[in-house]
Amino acid sequence: MENNIKKIRHSLAHIMAEAVLEFWPKVKLGMGPAIENGFYYDFLLPKPLEEKDLEQIEKRMQELISQNQKFEKQNITKRRAKRLFAIQPYKLELIKDLPGENVSIYTNGEFVDLCKGPHIKSTKEINPKAFKLVKIAGAYWKGSEKNKMLTRIYGLAFETEKELQDYIKMQEEAEKRDHRKLGKDLKIFTFSDFVGPGLPLWLPNGAAIIEEIEKLGKETETKAGYLRVKTPHIAKEIMYKTSGHLPYYADIMFPPMILEDDPDGSGTPKKTKYYLKAMNCPHHHQIFAAEMRSYRDLPLRLAEYGTCYRYEKSGELFGLMRVRSMEMNDAHIYCTEEQFANEFLAVIKLYFEYFKIFGIEKYVMRFSTHSKEGLGKKYIDNEKLWKKTEDMVRNTLIKEKINFIEVKDEAAFYGPKIDVEVWSAIGREFTLATNQVDFAVPERFGLVYIDKDGKEKTPICIHRAPLSTHERLIGFLIEHYAGAFPVWLSPIQASIITISDKHSDYAKKIEKLLKENNIRVELKNNNETLGKKIREAEIQKIPYLLIVGDKEISANAVSVRERGKGDTGQMLIDKFIDKIKEQIKLKK
Ligand SMILES: [Zn+2]
Ligand SMILES: [Zn+2]
């Protein structure tokens, strides 16, 4: 968030509290920070709020803004602050928790708030048409269920009216494209109480999309020299202790299963803990370790569409975007230091290839690096190697003119990482995937290769998943395409619609022909009216509707209705097959 707009948003929170206090002088004030795209303030109100209250508050805020109120900061003793906020229990609690003898307060107009700032100088800096109160929600004081539920009022705020209107429009469009709604309407995925929350079930339409994405991933990876592997979904505790995931990531892993068995036939069964895998890397490391490796074997690129399980809190689950089981376009590249730059660049180029296919025009690579202070705590204590790897990554990004931003102190434990953020067609941002450079874990597992000089060396490992997980990617693509998938990805690519019953045989012949050409097709030859059948297929966003009647039969043709274009006339059946196959081949 840019500094000035952040100050404006936070100042609007104060002004909102000022207005609310005028309407209900007994209100108890919680906290009111700036947030992404706006601000909120929490209140304990004597009555529940309604929509029309928001209008009133908003109107009063506009009046207060036009008064050119100044924001003035003052440092006062805690004793004075306690007197000042004597009837504000939440403020008193905050004062008690703050360190030091003094606290700072901000005054604007009649309103005083406990606040460390910063704020704008005066309400002159606020465009009264560039903010809007949008939502009332319940929020526990300090986010804890043990505390009272307060009323939170959310506002949007920008520097210009246009930015506000654009944002509102984007939100409305995002609502229409909500992947949870479209995913249901288009029969892509579902959830079941019997299976459990966060565990999506892919319906035939969803599975068709997955098949295409996997095909794309596998073809590209084969061309790029990856080898495919397969690994089980569980592993012993010792594996995750060695990788370092336990105990540090224990809370994102499902609780262990305890098995009692006798693997060596000694007659005394042993108890062993097994975990569902939360990541595929340790399994792949074991494949690397399965053979003696020489520098000639590197780079070794092991790829797997691996299913992982993560124990996300139930409150944080969200459609396909936050789930407990996910299938990842995973791969691990084991290479030497000399090979690193090339391998890393090849991964970045894979992203660009995919961006082009999916029509992703805006992206940014967030390059997260270590901090000196974190060495030995948050990060593996090897400054030389950190510097070296980060330089290699940074130099590659700069040399290739790749759009990136560098964020200090957000790297992974074992190396720098790149988060790939993309924007959907309506301008909403998604974090799609992460690339990580790992120079530590291979060592923990004792992975080595024999170098030219006959000495054992530890490889560097690149973790990458350009096609993300199926869940996240398809969640994104549903919004991106508004459910109207391009032909190659469409679960049903063509729908054959008969004008009447007597055209059924011809329709079935065409269905068979299309299937023989690997085109995903459905046949609508029920007794519904033609209009209804067309409408149904259009709601399903099927790219081609092929209408057949007497005229089409005599011409050995179909009448084509193309999604977004309407009726495009009659076409010989062979011609149509050539056309759609070409589109599928070109991933259109
Ligand atoms: Zn403030
Ligand atoms: Zn990994």
140 pLDDT band, cuts 50/70/90, is very high
Task: State the total domains in the chain.
Answer: 3
CA angle 573, 575, 576 (to 5 degrees): 65
CB-based contacts of 423, cutoff 8 Å, min separation 6 = 360, 361, 362, 363, 429, 430
Query: What is the number of the ligand closest to the CA of 437?
Result: 2
Last residue of a domain, one of 434, 460, 481: 481
- Residue 519: inside a domain: yes
106 pLDDT band, cuts 50/70/90, is very high
- Residue 262: inside a domain: no
For residue 449, how far is the Cα from the chain centroid?
Answer: 36
- Residue 272: inside a domain: no
Query: What is the number of the ligand closest to the CA of 302?
Result: 2
Q: Contact at 8 Å (CB) between 8 and 159? A: yes
- Residue 245: inside a domain: no
Query: What is the number of the ligand closest to the CA of 116?
Result: 1
* CA 236 / ligand 2 centre spacing (Å): 17
For residues 376 and 227, membership in a common domain is answered with yes
Reduced to 3 states, what is the DSSP secondary structure of residue 294? strand
For residues 294 and 401, membership in a common domain is answered with yes
pLDDT of residue 2: 62
* CA 67 / ligand 2 centre spacing (Å): 57
* CA 31 / ligand 1 centre spacing (Å): 9
Bond before 299 cis per omega within 30 degrees: yes
H-helix or E-strand containing 581?
Answer: helix 573-585
For residues 318 and 409, membership in a common domain is answered with yes
Per-residue pLDDT tens digits for 271-289: 999 999 999 999 999 999 9
Q: Contact at 8 Å (CB) between 570 and 559? A: yes
pLDDT of residue 523: 95
* CA 100 / ligand 1 centre spacing (Å): 19
For residues 204 and 347, membership in a common domain is answered with yes
For residues 468 and 497, membership in a common domain is answered with no
pLDDT of residue 147: 93
- Residue 247: inside a domain: no
* CA 142 / ligand 1 centre spacing (Å): 17
* CATH number assigned to the domain comprising residue 124: 3.30.980.10
For residues 557 and 454, membership in a common domain is answered with no
Reduced to 3 states, what is the DSSP secondary structure of residue 466? coil
* CA 106 / ligand 1 centre spacing (Å): 7
* CA 436 / ligand 2 centre spacing (Å): 8
Query: What is the number of the ligand closest to the CA of 414?
Result: 2
* CA 281 / ligand 2 centre spacing (Å): 4
pLDDT of residue 96: 94
* CA 309 / ligand 2 centre spacing (Å): 14
Q: Contact at 8 Å (CB) between 199 and 496? A: no
* CA 164 / ligand 1 centre spacing (Å): 22
The residue to which tokens 């050995």 are assigned: 556
pLDDT of residue 329: 97
* CA 18 / ligand 1 centre spacing (Å): 12
Query: What is the number of the ligand closest to the CA of 6?
Result: 1
Per-residue pLDDT tens digits for 213-229: 999 999 999 999 999 99
* CA 285 / ligand 2 centre spacing (Å): 9
For residues 468 and 541, membership in a common domain is answered with no
- Residue 284: inside a domain: yes
Range of the domain at 514: 487-585
For residues 491 and 463, membership in a common domain is answered with no
* CA 5 / ligand 1 centre spacing (Å): 13
21 vs 52: CA distance, rounded Å? 17
For residues 284 and 390, membership in a common domain is answered with yes
Q: Which residues pair with 521 in a beta bridge?
A: 494
DSSP H stretches of helix in 98-178: 161-176
pLDDT of residue 94: 96
Measure Cα distances from 504 to 52, 246, 498, 510, 525 in Å.
Answer: 58, 61, 7, 10, 6
Query: What is the number of the ligand closest to the CA of 115?
Result: 1
pLDDT of residue 157: 97
For residues 106 and 8, membership in a common domain is answered with yes
Angle, in degrees to the nearest 10, between helices 383-399 and 337-358: 40
* CA 279 / ligand 2 centre spacing (Å): 6
Residues by chain with Cβ below 5 Å of ion ligand 1: 115
* CA 437 / ligand 2 centre spacing (Å): 9
* CA 405 / ligand 1 centre spacing (Å): 29
* CATH number assigned to the domain comprising residue 448: 3.30.930.10
For residues 293 and 323, membership in a common domain is answered with yes
525 pLDDT band, cuts 50/70/90, is confident
For residues 195 and 142, membership in a common domain is answered with no
Q: Is the dihedral of CA 176, 178, 180, 185 positive or negative?
A: positive
Q: Contact at 8 Å (CB) between 551 and 571? A: no
Last residue of a domain, one of 445, 463, 481: 481
535 pLDDT band, cuts 50/70/90, is very high
Mean pLDDT, range 318-343, rounded to an integer = 95
Burial call 289-298: b when 16+ CB within 10 Å, e when fewer: eeeebebeeb
Contacts 24+ apart (CB under 8 A), 575-582: 576/544, 576/546, 577/513, 577/514, 577/517, 577/519, 580/487, 580/493, 580/494, 580/519, 580/544, 581/517, 581/519
CB-based contacts of 277, cutoff 8 Å, min separation 6 = 231, 232, 233, 234, 235, 283, 306, 307, 308, 309
Mean pLDDT, range 327-349, rounded to an integer = 94
- Residue 263: inside a domain: no
* CA 214 / ligand 2 centre spacing (Å): 18
- Residue 264: inside a domain: no
Query: What is the number of the ligand closest to the CA of 118?
Result: 1
DSSP 374-437: GBTTTB-S-HHHHHHHHHHHHHHHHHTT--EEEETT--BTTB-EEEEEEE-TTS-EEEEEEEEE
Q: Contact at 8 Å (CB) between 137 and 150? A: no
Per-residue pLDDT tens digits for 398-424: 988 888 999 999 998 888 999 999 999
pLDDT: which is higher, 377 or 172 = 172
Query: What is the number of the ligand closest to the CA of 119?
Result: 1
Computed on alpha carbons and rounded to an integer, the radius of gyration of the chain in Å comes to 30
Query: What is the number of the ligand closest to the CA of 333?
Result: 2
436 vs 540: CA distance, rounded Å? 39
Torsion of CA 278, 284, 289, 290, to 10 degrees: 110
